[in-house]
Amino acid sequence: MPTSLSITPKGRTGPDVDPDVTPDLPPAPPGRDLMKIPLVAKVMRSRWYPGVLQVPVAGIFGLVAYQLLAGPVTAERNPGTALMWVLWWPVLPISFVLLGRFWCAVCPFGALSDFVQKIVGVNRPVPRFLKLYGLWIIDAQFLAITWSDHVWGIVESPWGSGVLLLLLTTGVILSGAFFQRRTFCRYLCFLGGLCSNYSRSSVVGLKADTSICATCKAKAACYNGTATQAGCPMFNFPRTMDSAANCNLCSNCIKACPNDAIQITTRKPMSELWFLDKPKVEESFLAMAIMGIVLIQNITMLTVWQDALAWIEATTGITNYPLIFTVAFVVAVSLPVGLLGVAARITAAGNLENTLMNFARFGYALIPIDIAAHVAHNLFHLLAEGSLVFSTVASMFGAAPADGATALASPAVILILQMVILALGVAGSAYAIRRITNRRYGSLARRRATTVPFMVLLGILSVLNVYLFMLPMAHRM
């Protein structure tokens, strides 16, 4: 009797194998290589890049620091405050989406770290606790700075902003003096954490052609550097790099690679969020903490905030503003984090991952609405107070200081722009939730069980943000 052959793969119990158990995860599609454009290649390979940009940025930074520490004491008359919080801070998240972490390539802190390392650097390896907990330290810094801003005054206090810059500069010098590469930028900079999250949505990314890397004999020159060219300052190994989160587009690897394997590719915005294979809880936490920070920043600028404070004072007798604000701050930050946790828990009952993994994975999906809310909030400051940039800078050259901010756009235009940006962010997050789910799960039941809770969460955050943005907001300066 002939033996019947099994048509199922060896080791399988039957033909109906759950495909979601061992999902076949397609990789991200390749984009257009910008290094094939001669001008881009010339700039990125130039020894003047990014130094030629770092010098003027450092100069402006020095001017800002001087004005903050020694210039006018009031925010609306201080050029440092206007340049830093009215111009630079609103434009920054937009640059992350368009150019990834490019700001870090020209950041004066990065340049300072490199300089200090060059003259006195001890170059110790990054401490293990920083590798393990650096992101949590960044999360804590972000929250602490936001809290301090409201309690002691940073944005509206030139002196406070100046002290913050001095503290950051001290951290940079400490890090550059004792540790390798740009340890501060990678593991300690609060802005770096923001850059990292937002840059995942960027339309450009750096990657290596692995087929070329497979035959490389240059002993990882892209990471280690060569005798004449430093390696990656952000501890990235381009051959295995699959994220724009920690790449500052400094082009060290491009210059060091002897095989021309490094590419700068275009990609669909937010596409990195769909193809994440190793999500991190601390990065999702940061994304939700930022959402909470935007909420509390919006709330404290509303006229209803005054009414709320008066009510609290009348009802409880508590007049201590730091205490009241701290409670509101904790609630505002905890709300999105808590809601994400609840959605993750509900989802875990219907898909194949636990609560923590769902929390980590889908926190990234909410980065687009994060960016949108952040940009929309700062758009108000840029457009409603933007004239201060011109008037305060002009006052350094003898012009009479203005009595206040003149809006660059009408309230109606600002609000419409905010709503459009929010809509884009909501759409982006909704699409990211869908793409992440569909990539991991084939069955309709699991897709539904995964998508619905996070879409509901997105809906809640969307309504909250829209409502807050539609309320009248006070100027900060």
Partner 1 sequence: MIPSKARHQQRAPRNAGQQIASVLAASISALILTTLGAPAALADPAGYPAQGPSAGATATPDPHASMTGMDPDMPGMSHDETPGMDPDMPGMSHDETPGMDPDMPGMSHDETPGMDPDMPGMSGAGSAHQHGAATGSEARPQAAVVGTFVLFNAGVLLTAGLMRRRAKLTASAKTSRSSGPTK
* Choice between 99 and 163, CB closer to partner 1: 163
CB of 262 to partner 1, least distance (A): 29
Indicate the residue among 154 and 253 with the shorter CB distance to partner 1: 154
Min separation Cβ 100 and partner 1, Å:
23
Between 163 and 342, name the residue whose CB sits nearer to partner 1. Answer: 163
Judged by DSSP in three states, 462 sits in helix
Q: At its nearest, how many Å lie between partner 1 and the CB of residue 404?
A: 4
Residue keyed to tokens 């497979």: 214
Q: Is 424 exposed, middle or buried (0-12, 13-18, 19+ CB in 10 A)?
A: middle
C-beta of 277: minimal distance to partner 1 in Å?
16
In b/e form, how buried is each residue of 53-91, taking b as 16+ CB within 10 angstroms?
Answer: ebeebbeebebbbebbeebbeebbbbbbbbbbbbbbbbe
Residue 244 or 296: the one with the smaller Cβ distance to partner 1 is 296
Could you give the CA distance from residue 424 to residue 292 in angstroms, rounded to a whole number?
A: 19
* Choice between 103 and 380, CB closer to partner 1: 380
Give the start-end residues of each E strand in 204-323.
204-208, 262-266
In the complex with partner 1, the residue whose CB is nearer, 354 or 406, is 406
The pair of three-digit structure tokens given for residue 436, joined into one six-digit string: 């992440």
> What's the closest the beta carbon of residue 456 comes to partner 1, in angstroms?
15
Q: Least distance in Å: CB of 179 to partner 1?
A: 10
| Residue 179: both structure tokens together | 């540790």
Burial 4-22 (b: 16+ CB within 10 A, else e): eeeeeeeeeeeeeeeeeee
User: Whole-number minimum distance, CB 57 to partner 1, in Å?
Assistant: 21
φ, ψ of residue 33 in degrees (nearest 5) = -85, 110
**C-beta of 40 vs 167, nearer to partner 1:** 167
> Shortest distance, CB of residue 292 to partner 1, whole angstroms?
18
Q: Tokens at residue 342, please?
A: 């609840």
> Of 240 and 306, which CB lies nearer to partner 1 in the complex structure?
306
Specify the DSSP element, H or E, that contains 341.
Answer: helix 321-348
- For residue 469, CA distances in Å to 48, 297, 462 come to 43, 11, 11
Measure the CA–CA gap between 129 and 187, rounded to whole angstroms: 10
Nearer to partner 1, 215 or 316 (CB): 316
CB-count exposure of residue 132 (10 Å: 0-12, 13-18, 19+) = exposed
CA distances from 347 to 14, 282, 353, 435, 452 (A): 28, 19, 8, 16, 8
What would the two tokens of residue 147 be? 């809290």
Report the nearest approach of partner 1 to the CB of residue 317 (Å): 10
Check: CB of residue 117 under 8 Å from CB of residue 177.
yes
Please report how close the Cβ of residue 118 comes to partner 1 at its closest, in angstroms: 11
Residue 258 or 459 having the CB closest to partner 1: 459
CB 376 within 8 A of CB 422: yes
